[in-house]
C-alpha cells in the first residue's frame, strides 16, 4: 500500500512542475502593470499594459485549466505502458464525467439542491453556487479532486485492460477504445455520486478552511514539518498540493488566490497578516533560501582537509541552485541516507523558522527559491511591506546560523559520512578512455554524441554494468532508480559524478543515480539504448518499493538466501537464524543500510537486526526475495 501511495504522490509531481513557471509569469505581469512602480506607463489601455496583460493571460492557463492538467498529467506517472494513450483516455473521460454532471443537474438539479442550474451565470472571482466551467462545460467545481479521482480510475483501467485481447470480431475496440468504453460507464455512477455528495463536501471544505485558519501556529508548524519530513517518501505532494492548488483553504488553491489579489496587496499599506490571513501555508521556500546554504557550509567545515576543494566545487553550485531556483534535492539526498537524523533536524528547523516568520506577520506565496519569491512577493510588494521582508531575512539568517552549528556539532560528534567525509578514493576524474568509448558507441547507434542526454544515458548505462546487468529501470523527480543483477559490475561513484551525476546511493542491488530535473530525458535515451541492445531489462515508471532496497541488502549481508534457516519480525527487529555465522557481515555494513543495531547469539546462530517500526514490511520483502 505504501508503495502505491508513493507512486501516486510522485505522479502528482508531473503536472505540478509547470506551476512554478506559470506563477512567475503571472507575477511578472502583475509587477510590470503596477502603477505604483511604473506610473502612467502601467495605466489600462497603454501599449505597455496591454502587452503585460496578454503575457499574464497566457500564464493563467495552467491555473485556469488545472483540472485538465492533472487529468492528463497523472496517467503519465501512473501508466505502466502507452502513457500517451493513457493521458488521452483520461482527458476524454474527465470531459465525459463533467458532461454527465452538467446534464444531470440540468434535468434534476432540484433533487440535488441546485434548482436553478440552467439560470446560474458563471462569472469570474465568484463562488457561482459551487459551479464552474471546464472546457466550455458547465459543471460542479470539484477542483483538482474530481480530476484526480477520474485519473486514478482511468489509470487503473488502462493498466489492467489496455492489453486485453478481445475476440477478433471486436478487435477494433481493443486498447484505448476498450478502456474508454469501461470508463464511460464508470463515470455515470461517479457523476451521480458527485451531484449528490459534492455540495455537502463544499460545505465541509468551508468549515475546514475556518478551522485551519484559526488553528494558528500549531497548524502552520505541523504543515511545514510534514511537508519537509515526508520528502524521502514522496508523500509530501499529498500535503501541499491540496493547499496550493486545491480547495483545502480557498477555492482554486492558495497560489492562484495570491496571484489574483497581488495588485490589491501591493497597493495597500495594511499588514499582510490582515490582507491575506490564510496565506501562511506557502512559506516553505524559506528553508531553500536560508537553511540549505548554511547546511552546505556545515558540510564544507566538516570535510576532510584534502577534500575541501572538491567538496566546495560540489556544494557551491548546489547551494546556489537551492537559493535561486528552490531545487534542494541534490543536497537533500546527498546526506539523507548517510545521516537520516540530520534530515529530522532540518525538518524541525524548517517548520520552526517558518512558524516564527508567520508569527511576525509574514504571508505570501514562497514555495520556490529567491527568483520565484522575489517575482511573486518582494518586488511587487516591497514599497508598502518592506519591513516584513527585512524581518524575514533577519529570522532566516538567525535560523541558518543555528542550523549550521547544530549540523556541524552533530556531524563531528557522530562522525556522519556527509559530503567531503567519504573514503579518499572517491575522487572526481577527468574523461578517460572508457568514457570516450561510450561517446563513440552513441555515434554507432545512430545518435549524436554531442547530445547531452544521449551522452549521459550511454555513460550511465555502461557504468551500471551494461544493459544486460539492469533488471529494472525507473525514475522519479530527479533520480534514476535501478535494480541490477550484479552490484559488483557497477562502477565507482566517482565515475558517475564525472558524468554529471550529483551522487549515487547504494542499497544492495538497488541503485539510485541522482541526475537532476532532466532525468526524464536521460531515462528516455537509456530506454532507447536498452531496446537497441535487445536486453530484457524492464523500463518502468513505477516507483521503487521503499523496503525492497533494505531487504535486498540484509539478505546479502546475512550470507545470502542459502545461509538463512528462518526469518521473522519481532517488534522492531528482523530476526534470522543462519547456517554459518561466519558468513554474516559485520555491524558496520548493516548500519550502512539504516540498521540501528545488530545483536548476535552465536550459540543459537541468531542475528537480530534492529530496524525500527517497519520491521514487518522489511521481513515481508525479504521473504518475497527468497
* 87 class by beta-carbon count within 10 Å (0-12 exposed, 13-18 middle, 19+ buried): buried
In whole angstroms, give the CA distance from residue 262 to residue 265: 5
Residue 618 and residue 549 in contact, taking contact as beta carbons nearer than 8 Å: no
In whole angstroms, give the CA distance from residue 529 to residue 458: 7
At CA 151, angle to CA 150 and CA 153, rounded to 5?
A: 65
- From 51, 570, 625, 626, the catalytic residue: 570
Please list, in sequence order, all residues whose beta carbon lies within 8 angstroms of the beta carbon of residue 540, skipping any fewer than 6 positions away. 80, 472, 473, 474
Coil, strand or helix at 118: coil
Residue 35: Cβ within 10 Å count: 15
Residue 195 falls in the annotated catalytic set: no
* 402 class by beta-carbon count within 10 Å (0-12 exposed, 13-18 middle, 19+ buried): middle
* 226 class by beta-carbon count within 10 Å (0-12 exposed, 13-18 middle, 19+ buried): middle
In whole angstroms, give the CA distance from residue 206 to residue 244: 16
In whole angstroms, give the CA distance from residue 551 to residue 617: 9
Q: Which long-range contacts (CB under 8 A, 24 or more apart) does 1-5 make?
A: 2/233, 2/546, 2/617, 3/543, 3/544, 3/545, 3/546, 5/235, 5/238
Please list, in sequence order, all residues whose beta carbon lies within 8 angstroms of the beta carbon of residue 300, skipping any fewer than 6 positions away. 308, 311, 312, 315, 420
Buried b / exposed e across 453-466, counting CB within 10 Å, b at 16+? bbbbbbbbbbbbbe
Residue 570 falls in the annotated catalytic set: yes
- From 230, 476, 511, 555, the catalytic residue: 476
**DSSP secondary structure code for residue 507 in this structure:** E
* 470-475 and 538-539 strand pairing: parallel
Please list, in sequence order, all residues whose beta carbon lies within 8 angstroms of the beta carbon of residue 550, skipping any fewer than 6 positions away. 507, 508, 593, 594, 611, 618, 621
* 63 class by beta-carbon count within 10 Å (0-12 exposed, 13-18 middle, 19+ buried): buried
In whole angstroms, give the CA distance from residue 74 to residue 89: 12
Instruction: List the catalytic residues.
Output: 476, 570
Amino acid at each position: 500500500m505504501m508503495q502505491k501511495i508513493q507512486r501516486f504522490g510522485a505522479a502528482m509531481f508531473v503536472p505540478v512542475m509547470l506551476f512554478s513557471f506559470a506563477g512567475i509569469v503571472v507575477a511578472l505581469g502583475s509587477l510590470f502593470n503596477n502603477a505604483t512602480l511604473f506610473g502612467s506607463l502601467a495605466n489600462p489601455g497603454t501599449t505597455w499594459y496591454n502587452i503585460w496583460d496578454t503575457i499574464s493571460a497566457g500564464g493563467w492557463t495552467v491555473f485556469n485549466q488545472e483540472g485538465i492538467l492533472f487529468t492528463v498529467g497523472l496517467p503519465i506517472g501512473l501508466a505502466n505502458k502507452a502513457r500517451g494513450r493513457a493521458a488521452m483516455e483520461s482527458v476524454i473521460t474527465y470531459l465525459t464525467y463533467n458532461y454527465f454532471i452538467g446534464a444531470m443537474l440540468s434535468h434534476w438539479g432540484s433533487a440535488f439542491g441546485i434548482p436553478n442550474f440552467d439560470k446560474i451565470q458563471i462569472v469570474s472571482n465568484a463562488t457561482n453556487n459551487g459551479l464552474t466551467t471546464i472546457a466550455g462545460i458547465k459543471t460542479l467545481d470539484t477542483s483538482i479532486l474530481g480530476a484526480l479521482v477520474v485519473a486514478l480510475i482511468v489509470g487503473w483501467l488502462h493498466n489492467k485492460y489496455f492489453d486485453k485481447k478481445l475476440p477478433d470480431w471486436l478487435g477494433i475496440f481493443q486498447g484505448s477504445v476498450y478502456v474508454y468504453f469501461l470508463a464511460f460507464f464508470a463515470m455515470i455512477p461517479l457523476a451521480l455520486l458527485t451531484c449528490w455528495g459534492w455540495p455537502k463536501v463544499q460545505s465541509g471544505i468551508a468549515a475546514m478552511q475556518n478551522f485551519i485558519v484559526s488553528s494558528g501556529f500549531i497548524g502552520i508548524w505541523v504543515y511545514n514539518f510534514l511537508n519537509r519530513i515526508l520528502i524521502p517518501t514522496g508523500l509530501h505532494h499529498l500535503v501541499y498540493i491540496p493547499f496550493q492548488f486545491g480547495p483545502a483553504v480557498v477555492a482554486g488553491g492558495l497560489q492562484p488566490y495570491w496571484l489574483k489579489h497581488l495588485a490589491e496587496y501591493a497597493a495597500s499599506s495594511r499588514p499582510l497578516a490582515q490582507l491575506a490571513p490564510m496565506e501562511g501555508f506557502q512559506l516553505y521556500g524559506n528553508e531553500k533560501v536560508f537553511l540549505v546554504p548554511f547546511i552546505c557550509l556545515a558540510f564544507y567545515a566538516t570535510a576532510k582537509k584534502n577534500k575541501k576543494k572538491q567538496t566546495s566545487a560540489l556544494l557551491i553550485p548546489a547551494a546556489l541552485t537551492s537559493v535561486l531556483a528552490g531545487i534542494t534535492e541534490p543536497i537533500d539526498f546527498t546526506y539523507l541516507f548517510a545521516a537520516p537524523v540530520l534530515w529530522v533536524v532540518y525538518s524541525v528547523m524548517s517548520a520552526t523558522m517558518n512558524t516564527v516568520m508567520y508569527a511576525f506577520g509574514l504571508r505570501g506565496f514562497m514555495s520556490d527559491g529567491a527568483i520565484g519569491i522575489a517575482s511573486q512577493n518582494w518586488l511587487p510588494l516591497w514599497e508598502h511591506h518592506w519591513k516584513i521582508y527585512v524581518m524575514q531575512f533577519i529570522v532566516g539568517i538567525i535560523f541558518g546560523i543555528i542550523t549550521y552549528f547544530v549540523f556541524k556539532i552533530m556531524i563531528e560528534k557522530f562522525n556522519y559520512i556527509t559530503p567531503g567525509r567519504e573514503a579518499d578514493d572517491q575522487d572526481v576524474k577527468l574523461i578517460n578512455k572508457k568514457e570516450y568509448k561510450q561517446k563513440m558507441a552513441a555515434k554507432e547507434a545512430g545518435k549524436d554524441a554531442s547530445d547531452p542526454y544521449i551522452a549521459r544515458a550511454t555513460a550511465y548505462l555502461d557504468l551500471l554494468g551494461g544493459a544486460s546487468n539492469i533488471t529494472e529501470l525507473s525514475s522519479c523527480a530527479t533520480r534514476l532508480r535501478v535494480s541490477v543483477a550484479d552490484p559488483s559490475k557497477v562502477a565507482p561513484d566517482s565515475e558517475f559524478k564525472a558524468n554529471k551525476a550529483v551522487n549515487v546511493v547504494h542499497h544492495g542491488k538497488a541503485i539510485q543515480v541522482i541526475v537532476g530535473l532532466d532525468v526524464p530525458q536521460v531515462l528516455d535515451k537509456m530506454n532507447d539504448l536498452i531496446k537497441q541492445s535487445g536486453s530484457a531489462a524492464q523500463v518502468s515508471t513505477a516507483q521503487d518499493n521503499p523496503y525492497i532496497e533494505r531487504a535486498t541488502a540484509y539478505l546479502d549481508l546475512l550470507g545470502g538466501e542459502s545461509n538463512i534457516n528462518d526469518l521473522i519480525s519481532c517488534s522492531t527487529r528482523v530476526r534470522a537464524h543462519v547456517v554459518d555465522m561466519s558468513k554474516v557481515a559485520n555491524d558496520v555494513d548493516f548500519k550502512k543500510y539504516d540498521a540501528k543495531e545488530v545483536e548476535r547469539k552465536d550459540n543459537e546462530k541468531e542475528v537480530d537486526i534492529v530496524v525500527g517500526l517497519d520491521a514487518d514490511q522489511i521481513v515481508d520483502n525479504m521473504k518475497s526475495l527468497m
